[in-house]
Amino acid sequence: MSSPSEAGHDRSEPGLSAIVGERGQLINLAYRLLGSLAEAEDAVQEAYARWYAMSRERQEAIESPGAWLSTVAGRICLDMLGSARARRERYVGEWIPEPLPDRTEWFSGRVGGGRTEPVDPADLVTLDESVNMAFLVVLESMTPAERVAFILHDVFRYPFAEVAGIVGRTPAACRQLASSARRRIRAAQTPAAPTAGQAGLVRHFKEAWEAKDIEALVGLLDPGATMIADGGGLIGAALRPVEGSERIAQYLIHIAGKAPGLVLLERTVNGHPGLVAQHAGVTVTVAAFSLTGDRITRIWAVRNPEKLRSWTARM
């Protein structure tokens, strides 16, 4: 990721194309800070609104518009994280970050008739380990200030002096916030399955689920595995985590029995092998996995239709 100075580029005239060109950087930043593509887009739109609300003279006085936009977007995200905590206390069931597709799987389908369709915000998010679902879930355990300081410094390489201007604390305090966030990350890390084996393990899981083979499912799950579903109160989903390989397997077989004709597709979810479930041609679930060795340890199943818009539009 580029720093705010690199992203902004020095320019004497804040031309429209240059300013709009910052949107990809801003969406990448805001999604990692908020864990929601919809909220990230709202934050970026608000940052642009504040830019265009300034007079031309004030715009021209800003040496690096890209850095200005990044700073403003970061402050907006910090405020949104604070209010999001209160909203999520009222959220029905478990809250999971919004899953993202791999744009390369779908990009060819977005061009037709000699015309490229408008870019979806999901197309702007660069998929790397900082959007891995397991990583995003750990970020949710951080305080807003920890999360912002860590993402800005460790992921986007902002100097602590610039982080301080966004977070509203001293550089030394921001350094401590980032250090605390790193400890949370390390405490939650588990040995990951080899990359080459991840897709195969997810494929075996898909096949066992399709066959309603409970023994095979149990064999693919770690005995202490946990499955978390997010329906947001808008669609049926377990309100609490389902724990243990046997309980998870039984739950999945129950779901398959209630939805005859369910189609499972292997897809990249937040940069890692995952599954998409469709019913009657409509995407109803996107599942991300955490794998350790040759077992699945975590499943995050997003069913809230408001979080599946990037998938529904593409399928």
Q: 3-state DSSP call for residue 116?
A: strand
Through-space distance between the first and last CA atoms of the chain, rounded to whole angstroms: 29
Q: What is the pTM of this model?
A: 0.85
3-state secondary structure of 101: strand
CATH of domain 4-94+143-188: 1.20.140.160
| pLDDT for res 124 | 74
pLDDT for 240 equals 94
What are the tens digits of pLDDT across the range 158-190?
Answer: 999 999 999 999 999 999 999 999 999 998 877
Instruction: Please give the pLDDT value at position 281.
Output: 87
Alpha carbons within 13 angstroms on the beta-carbon side of residue 80 total 23
Residue 115's region, left for phi above 0, alpha for psi from -120 to 50, else beta, is: beta
pLDDT for position 111: 31
Quickly name the fold that domain 96-140+190-315 has: Nuclear Transport Factor 2; Chain: A, (3.10.450)
Query: Which stretches in the chain have pLDDT values below 70?
Result: 1-16, 104-120, 122, 191-196, 313-315
Q: Residue ranges per domain, the chain?
A: 4-94+143-188, 96-140+190-315
